[in-house]
Amino acid sequence: MGEPARTLLLLAGRLDAQGEFDSMRAFLDRLRGVGIAANLLYVSAGEGTSADERFIECPRLSHRWQLALAVRRLRLGDPSRRPELLHILHSTMSSAGLAIAEHWGLPYIQTVDEFLGPRDRLRLSRRWCRKLVAVSQELASDLEENFGVPASLLSVACPGISAPEPVAPPSSKRLTPVPVIGTAGPLVPASGFATFLNAARKVLDAGIDAEFVIAGKGEDEVDLRRRADRLRIADRVTFASQSLEGFRFWSVLDIFCLTSLVSTVGLSLASAMAAGVPSIASEVTGLRALIDHDVSGLFVPPDNSTALAEMILSLLSDPDRSQRIGQRGRELVLRDFQPDDEARDLECVYQAVLAQNENVVPQPEPIPIR
C-alpha cells in the first residue's frame, strides 16, 4: 500500500469523439486506483483542451517534418518528468511513439487496435518494444498466425466501454416518427459505406420514410456524397463529423449498421450496442465475440446492399424484436467490456513489463506483414 505509484506516459492521437476527454480522464483515474500514475500525451482534440494537468497537448507529433523537434521538446530527460514506461494507445501513433522511445530511451508497449491490411507492417524497436497489446483474442490470434508475431510478445486487453443509460427508441420521441439508420467510421472504401448508401436507396424504394446518417471523415467523402446524389437520396443522408460519435449520436439512431468489407474489431459497433442500439454488421472476421446472430445483433454478408436493406426493413417492421436485440447487445457489452477489467488487464501488463530486466530485450526485428 505504501509503495510509490509506477509512472506511465500514454500516447493518443486526436481526441475527436464526443466524451473522449471524460472517457480518458476516467481511464487515468482507474489506473491510479491500481497503482499506476499516468499522464496522457495527445495530438489535438475536437472539443478543445483539457484543464486536467495530466493531459499534455502536442500537435506537432502529427506532422512528420516537425516530429523530431516535438520529441526533443518533451524534455523527458528530466527525472521529475520521465515516465518508466510508454504506452502507444493507437496504431496511428506508432511512428511518433517509436520516435519518443528511441530518442528518450523509454521501454514501450503498443496497442494494436485494428486488424492489419495486406500492405501494413509493424515497425517495432528491437531495443525498446516490450509488448503488443491486442484489443481482442481474435486479433491476437491473427497477428500470431498470419503475421508472424511471436506469442511471447502478445497480450490481450479488451477495451473498456463506458455504457450510457440505454437510449429509448428514438422514433417514439418524435412528433413524426421517422426512423434514423446510422453508420460510423473512417470514410474509406474498406468501410463499405457505398453498400450502406445502396441499401438506403432500397429501403426508401420499399416505401419507408427514413433518414440516414454517416458519422466520419476521410478521403472518400466526396465520392460518397456524389453517390448519394446519383442515387437521388442526398436529401435523406446526413454526413456528420466523427466527433458526433458518442452518446448524442447513438441517442438519435433506431438502427446502427457496421458495413465493413474487411476484418475489424468493431469498436464503433460495441459502442452502439452499449447504448442499446439494435445493430446489423457485416459477417467479417473480428465480430463473432460481439454478435450472436438474431440474439445480440444481426449479421449480413459483406458488400450485399440487398441483404442489408432487407435486414433493416425486418427490424423496422418488428419493434419488439428490435428492442430485444438492442437490450441483449447492451447486456453483452456491459458484461465483456468492463472499464475496470481493462484497467486491471493493462496494470498486469505494465507491472510485468516493468519487472523485466531492462538489459534483456528479447524482441525481434521490425516485423514485415506477409
Same domain, 69 and 182: no
Q: Model confidence at 53, in pLDDT bands (50, 70, 90)?
A: confident
Judged against a pLDDT cut of 50, whether residue 364 lies above it is answered with: no
Higher pLDDT, 351 or 123: 351
Q: Is residue 361 part of a domain?
A: no
Instruction: Give the sheet arrangement for strand 211-215, strand by strand.
Output: 237-240, 211-215, 180-184, 255-258, 279-282, 298-300
E strand intervals along 104-236: 108-112, 129-134, 154-156, 180-184, 211-215
Tell whether the model's pLDDT for residue 156 goes beyond 90: yes
Of the two residues 174 and 93, the one the predictor is more confident about is 93
Q: What are phi and psi of 28, to 5 degrees?
A: -60, -40
> pLDDT tens digit string along 274-323?
999 999 999 999 998 899 999 999 999 999 999 999 999 999 999 999 99
pLDDT for 241 beyond 60: yes
244, pLDDT greater than 80:
no
Higher pLDDT, 84 or 369: 84
Q: Tell whether 91 is covered by a domain.
A: yes
The DSSP code for 297 is B
Please, which pLDDT band fits residue 120 given cuts at 50, 70 and 90? confident
Residues 220, 260, single domain; the answer is yes
Q: Which residues contact 61 (CB under 8 A, 6 or more apart)?
A: 41, 43, 67, 70, 71, 93, 96
Backbone angles phi, psi at 184, to 5 degrees: -155, 150
> Is pLDDT above 70 for 14?
yes
9 three-class SS: strand
Residues 183 and 197 placed together within one structural domain of the fold = yes
Q: Report residue 266: phi and psi, to 5°.
A: 70, 45
**Statement to judge: residues 183 and 153 lie in one domain:** no
Quick check: 251 and 228 in contact, CB under 8 A? no
Same domain, 130 and 265: no
Looking at the structure, do residues 192 and 132 belong to the same domain, yes or no?
no
Identify the pLDDT of residue 363: 47
> How far is 339 from 10, CA to CA, in rounded Å?
16
Count the neighbouring beta carbons within 10 Å of the beta carbon of residue 357.
6
As beta bridge partners, residue 42 has 57
Instruction: Provide the 3-class DSSP secondary structure of residue 106.
Output: coil
| pLDDT tens by residue, 174-232 | 545 899 999 999 999 999 999 999 999 999 999 999 999 999 989 999 999 999 999 99
- Beta-carbon count within 10 A of 207 CB: 7
> Do residues 58 and 91 share a domain?
yes
Measured CA to CA, the distance from residue 330 to residue 297 in angstroms comes to 10
Instruction: Note whether 112 and 265 are within 8 A (CB).
Output: no
Residue 1 lies in a domain: no
Q: Are 51 and 67 in contact (CB under 8 A)?
A: no
Categorize the per-residue pLDDT at 49 as very low, low, confident or very high, splitting at 50, 70 and 90. low
Percentage of the chain surpassing pLDDT 90? Answer: 64
Whole-angstrom distance, CA of residue 315 vs CA of residue 318: 5
Instruction: Categorize the per-residue pLDDT at 2 as very low, low, confident or very high, splitting at 50, 70 and 90.
Output: low
15 and 142 share one domain: yes
Do residue 192 and residue 263 come from a single domain? yes
What is the identity of the amino acid at 325? Answer: I
3-state secondary structure of 36: strand
Query: Considering just the CA atoms, what is the radius of gyration of the chain in Å?
Result: 21
Residues spanned by the domain of 108: 6-160+338-355
367 part of a folded domain: no
Q: Does residue 356 have a pLDDT over 50?
A: yes
* Number of independent structural domains in the chain: 2
Residues 156 and 10 grouped into a single domain: yes
Tell whether 320 and 185 lie within a shared domain: yes
CATH code, domain with 307 = 3.40.50.2000
